[in-house]
Chain A
Amino acid sequence: MDRVKIVKYSPWLVHFNTGACNGCDIEVLAAITPHYDPERFGVKLAPSVRHGDVLIVTGAVTKKAGERLKRLYEQMPEPKFVVAVGACACSGGVFSGSYSVLAGADKVVKVDMYIPGCPPRPEAILDGIVKLLKKLDGGEGGEGGDGKPSGSA
């Protein structure tokens, strides 16, 4: 439990592309650039999966990449968390009917936070990570579909 508390001060992210269209990948990349600067929260991209705390999964999880994803997850040190970024990683998106995809990261590993969107904006990715950190703190993370529309057009 204590180790979980420590992780929340500086979670290091590992990004794995399981067959994404690169849309989510460039948004994950954009999210670490000066405009959004997640290092304010101690968030940093880790060079190797063995240094990471949070695995960011993008893409529809093709059957070949699914095996890799499982192996990567097993190589991560405890405690570890998985964030699914984008409609594809959440549920398969437009590719859910294809013969070659498993459709959804939760088919392979346990997912702690879903960030829907195609692709989600960098702010949305930050928002998801902040919600994950709050969840680690004991608070409730998810409040999707709260019934409050904002900025309606």
Chain B
Amino acid sequence: MVGKEARAVMESLQEVLKDYALSTYNMKPSRVVIEVKPENVREVFTKLVSVYGAEGLYLATIVGTDFPDKNLIRVDYFVNVFSVNTYVVLRTYIPRDDPRIPSLLDIVPGALAGELETYDLLGVVFEGNPYLRRSFFVPNDISEKGIYPLRKDSGV
């Protein structure tokens, strides 16, 4: 998909999410990044599902990145809207000393894997997800010390 068609899809997508978007930019190669407030994530997903249909998009992955110098953790939701052949990235920033974000589990069951992974490796608490727990893949000796391996200062 190239050119005009792709741009039209992106514009319609931005139109759908314009109430929530703090800023919009592109990630290589041609993915739309839309920055939203963490408390709005659930509303954004409800909106996306209602516009593109439950069988039109799936949550591909959740990426958590640690920024110790800004005291922030960034949580990105990569959503494949495959009914219109496009990828949208929902980007949120949450404080590093109290990383909490609402869980999407009841809206998107496919979020389970990503949320558990991000919790165990980075310590982001997804509020409302009852399955979160430590040391399912991080070995016991590390999780017992309360270390989240993917934090930059974890020292492992």
Interface locus among B17-25, B35-43, B136-144: B136-144
Interface residues on B, range: under 10
Q: Mark A63-107, 1 if CB is under 8 A from B, else 0.
A: 110000000000000000000000000000000000110000000
Question: Across the interface, which residues of A come within 8 angstroms of B1, CB to CB?
Answer: none
What is the CA–CA distance of A62 and B142 in the complex, to the nearest angstrom? 13
Name which residue of chain B comes closest to A102, CB basis.
B139
What is the CA–CA distance of A64 and B137 in the complex, to the nearest angstrom? 8
B2 sits at the interface (CB 8 A): no
Question: Across the interface, which residues of B come within 8 angstroms of A63, CB to CB?
Answer: 139-141
Q: Mark B124-140, 1 if CB is under 8 A from A, else 0.
A: 00000000000001111
Question: Across the interface, which residues of B come within 8 angstroms of A99, CB to CB?
Answer: 139, 142, 149, 156
Question: Across the interface, which residues of A come within 8 angstroms of B140, CB to CB?
Answer: 63-64
How far in angstroms is the closest Cβ of chain A from B83?
33
Name which residue of chain B comes closest to A98, CB basis.
B156
What is the CA–CA distance of A62 and B149 in the complex, to the nearest angstrom? 15
Contacts A100-B137, A100-B149 supplied; 13 other A-B pairs, CB < 8 Å: A62-B139, A63-B139, A63-B140, A63-B141, A64-B139, A64-B140, A99-B139, A99-B142, A99-B149, A99-B156, A100-B138, A100-B139, A100-B142
For this complex, 8 residue pairs linking A to B, each with C-beta atoms less than 8 Å apart, are: A64-B139, A64-B140, A99-B142, A99-B149, A99-B156, A100-B138, A100-B139, A100-B149
